[in-house]
Amino acid sequence: MASIEQDILDWVKRRPIWQRNLLKRIARGEAIDDAYIASVAQAIVDKKVTPEAPELAAADLPTGTAGGNTVQLESIGELKFVNALLDDQTLTFGATGVTVIYGDNGSGKSGYARLVKNVVGARHHEEILPDAFASSTGTQSAQITYSLGGTATTEAWPSLLEPALNQAHFYDEACGNDYLDRDTELAYRPSVLTLLDELIVHVDAVRAAIDAMIRTNEAEALVPPTVQPGTRAEAFLKSLSATTTKQEIDQALVLPAVPKVVQAELVKEEARLKTTDPAKEKQRLLSAATRIEALADHLETLGTKLSSARGDEMLAMQTAATTLRAAATEASKTSFADEPLAGVGSGTWRALWQAAENYSVAEAYPDHDFPATGDGHVCVLCQQPLQTDAAERLRRFHQFVHNDVAKRAKAAEDAFKGAIEDLKALEVTSEETTEAIGFLATEDKVFADSLTAALETAKRAKTRIGERLRGESEEGWIELVAVDLNDLRLRATDLKTKASAIDEVAFARTLADCRAKLAELESLMAIAAVRSGIEKEVERLIAHAALKKIQPTITTQPISVESGKLARAYVTDRVKDHFVRESERLKLEHVVLGDQGSPKGKLRHKPALLGTSSSSPKAVLSEGEQTAAGLAGFFTEVEFDDTKSAVILDDPMSSLDHERREKAARRIVEIANDRQVIVFTHDLMFLGEIVKASDELGVTLTERAIERNGARKPGRVIDGYPWKAKDAKQRIGDLQVELDRVKKNQTDMTADEYERATSEWAGKLSETWERIVRSEVAFKLVDRGTTNVRPKMFRIAAKITDADNTDFQSGYGATSKWARRHDKSEETNYVPPTADEMQAELDRIKAWRERVSKYGSGA
């Protein structure tokens, strides 16, 4: 069968771990202080929440209990440093029926009651303090003996953590206020739901801790440096957020290599502009435009001559020249193998041949093709007449030099040589490029730096081509940096346009631009100086965003919804009907439980008045009626506790009139029919009602009292009640016991001892006559608590007969004469009463009480 306890256990498994930990601590009575709440909040933020062991179990819940075993209290003793109570006392409780502990104000009764409240499952808790007037105190402790399912256990308090003790029900004024909130709204539900009430309080505390962390975080916000309005630095500071990346910070805080130098240049430029004229400025702009256009052309040339494709082309040219020359050389080795000298066709030989050809054509035989081998011609090298074989050799050499392979080899060599010379002559940077980039830097430092970087890359690309051609490296080509040449040329065009349109207005605008750049730079330098603070600010913003994201998740709404759902599911019509019956028993008519929803899990029901449209009976219920409503809720909760565990009440009669007090006392005794009930009280009339109801209902009454000892120290425990706390019936019984003792011992008594014993006995008998008149007559005619006359009880006076009056006068007169209230006259020669006379008066008062007590009951 489903139970509210099991539903709560199933529900809590779906809650965040930190809420499960809280509910476990609440159920087990473990510490939840400010430090713990702070640790929970921090763990949520750090995402390091771990389950606490042992986790919540059925046995931890107030009514969902260890196998439904009955919990009873047996004794409390060995108190140490608990209030100002004596430490050598033991307070025991009856296992069945009702145990009533009587104690005057200041007797220590409330100290014991508070200790019991701390041990069991009370709705309201309060701190147990040491003796406020003691010069020194030690560790508080006590020994608590309780039984669970009939098995007795003794454990030390305050380390006692038996969850089953939460099954015991405790009521006092503070707990009553928990049933009735400040607007008199009844908060009765199954007591296990009080765990959810407390969970809501602690979840709110965690939310408050998160809120405090947010406030602390916001208090640590960056105090930004002073920057010029309208600058990018200002926009950057305003744009800082939790999503700002390190790369964005790096990009925003890029400064020139030597910012102070650039700042000085801008200051100088500003000063120059202030002192120059438009004509000079126009010329300066046109000159800069020319340089920038030349830079664009130069970069375009570099892009062609230093590209990877050009590198591949030059390698191919080198390979072709080498290959063709090798072929020509090989041909010469074959053709001129029989020549007198080796090496015909080699590079050295070809240089010699070329020199000879040049000499012949230019000087020796300018009118003849080379080689000149006609009649009379001589060798241009040895200048000897040419014989037939020598002339033929020269003609063969000429044919070799001018055949196809040799021509192509020479052409390839010439092309490659030209490419090498062109590469060597190529200057990557020059004074003109430096000046052009320097001007651009005053306009756009980042762009200028990119051009410088592009040229540096081009230098490395040129070096790499040379290394590859010389065989010094096999590394790949260096890719050139892509430069937007159109943008560069557009900048030159813009400068020409500015120069063409320059006038005083435009010049003033140029000056303003310079000042704006100076403001941008100085603002950028200002925020760059606090870079670490900016990085910390981003970290703070990230933490702030995380906290703000967590904040709405720390809500009590799901707990309230679940608590309301459980209340509606388990506070059935039967429970509501029982509440009405309990209310009616306490003369609280027309009051019912009304379902008001469950905001914050606290306000489930409130009293409603039948037959009225009022949403709240606040203006109708008196203080006593509110107390009665609280008791009705408590009695209802007790009624539906199937474990039949102990019920403890501490002075529950506050603000109740006599009739309600009588009915509440009777109801308490009725509850004691099938469970242990313990009542702490200082109210003698209420005590009398309990005694009377116990007698009438046949419920076992265990009498205990707490009083001050002879040294006025509170907490002395006695079995039974002091004389003033006993009702007339108990007093008559005690008087009989004392009289029997006097009868037994009178032969051994001296005259003074006998007279003193009879006098004390007679004084108590006199007080008993007065107690009967007050309790059986006066207090039934006039409510002692409110002094209101009770007209319906006026029949008591009418039923008192002359014989009743005579009996009273005779009996009260005799006891007054015997009691030692005044000095006895010498002339009277006073003689104390005999035992028989005393017995006769005791029988008289016993019969008189039995007769008169029936007048008020209608018998």
Domain interval for residue 435: 259-306+426-527
Q: How far is residue 295's CA from residue 436's CA, in Å, rounded to a whole number?
A: 7
**Are 744 and 843 found together in one domain?**
yes
Length of the chain in terms of residues written: 859
d(CA 691, CA 688) in angstroms, rounded, equals 5
Q: Which residue has the higher pLDDT, 290 or 68?
A: 290
pLDDT at 367: 84
Mean pLDDT throughout 67-81? 87
Is 624 a member of any domain? Answer: no
845 shares a domain with 746: yes
- Spatial CA neighbour of 93 closest among 697, 675, 830: 675
Q: How many Å is the Cα radius of gyration of the chain?
A: 58
Lateral strand order in the sheet of 716-719: 169-171, 647-650, 677-681, 98-102, 701-707, 716-719
Final residue in a domain of this structure, among 492, 527, 562: 527
Rounded average pLDDT over 596-606: 47
Residue-level pLDDT at 152: 93
Question: Is residue 80 within a helix (H) or strand (E), and if so which, with residue range?
Answer: strand 71-80
pLDDT confidence bin for 403, thresholds 50/70/90: low
Q: Taking 70 as the threshold, does the pLDDT of residue 144 lie above it?
A: yes
Domain tally, the chain: 3
Is the pLDDT at 103 greater than 70, yes or no?
Answer: yes
Q: Which pLDDT band holds residue 691 (cuts at 50, 70, 90)? A: confident
CA–CA gap between residue 15 and residue 32 (Å, rounded): 18
pLDDT value of position 183: 39
Answer yes or no: is 797 within a domain: yes
Q: What is the pLDDT of residues 420-436, one digit of tens each?
A: 898 898 999 999 999 99
Q: Tokens 């008066």 — which residue?
A: 841
Q: Is residue 496 part of a domain?
A: yes
Q: What is the pTM of this model?
A: 0.47
d(Cα 367, Cα 279) in Å, to the nearest integer?
Answer: 65
Do residues 430 and 293 both lie within one domain?
A: yes
Q: Is residue 740 domain-shared with residue 848, that is, in the same domain?
A: yes
Tell whether 391 and 488 lie within a shared domain: no
CA 830 to chain centre: 85
DSSP letter for 844, please: H
> Is 748 a domain residue?
yes
Within this chain, do residues 409 and 431 fall inside the same structural domain, yes or no?
no
Instruction: State what percent of residues in the chain have pLDDT above 90.
Output: 38
Indicate whether 298 and 318 sit together in one domain. Answer: no
In a domain, 536, yes or no: no
> Could you tell me if residue 56 is inside a domain?
no
Are residues 297 and 444 located together in one domain of the fold? yes
Average of per-residue pLDDT across 692-717: 90
Let me know whether 732 and 847 are in one domain.
yes
Quick check: 689 pLDDT over 80?
yes
- Whether residues 332 and 396 share a domain: the answer is yes
Residue 691 lies in a domain: no
Between CA 486 and CA 152 the distance in angstroms is 98
Q: List the single range of 242-246, 496-500, 549-553, 745-749 with lowest mean pLDDT.
A: 496-500
User: Do 289 and 405 reside in the same domain of the chain?
Assistant: no
Which of 527, 546, 564 terminates a domain? The answer is 527
What is the structure's pLDDT at 404?
56
Question: What are the backbone dihedrals phi and psi of residue 300, each rounded to the nearest 5 degrees, phi first?
Answer: -65, -40
Percentage of residues in the chain with pLDDT exceeding 70? 86
* pLDDT value, residue 603: 39
Task: Give the three-class secondary structure for 842.
Answer: helix
Res. 67 pLDDT band, cuts 50 70 90: very low
Tens digit of each residue's pLDDT (9 = 90 or more) over 569-585: 776 666 777 878 888 88
Contact 188, 633 (CB under 8 A): yes
What residues are paired with 703 via a beta bridge? 100
Tell me: the pLDDT tens digits for 230-267? 999 899 999 999 999 999 999 988 888 888 988 888 88
Please spell the DSSP secondary structure of 752-767, one letter per residue. Answer: HHHHHHHHHHHHHHHH
744 in any annotated domain:
yes
Which of residues 527, 551, 575 is at a domain's end?
527
Q: Are residues 301 and 436 in the same domain?
A: yes
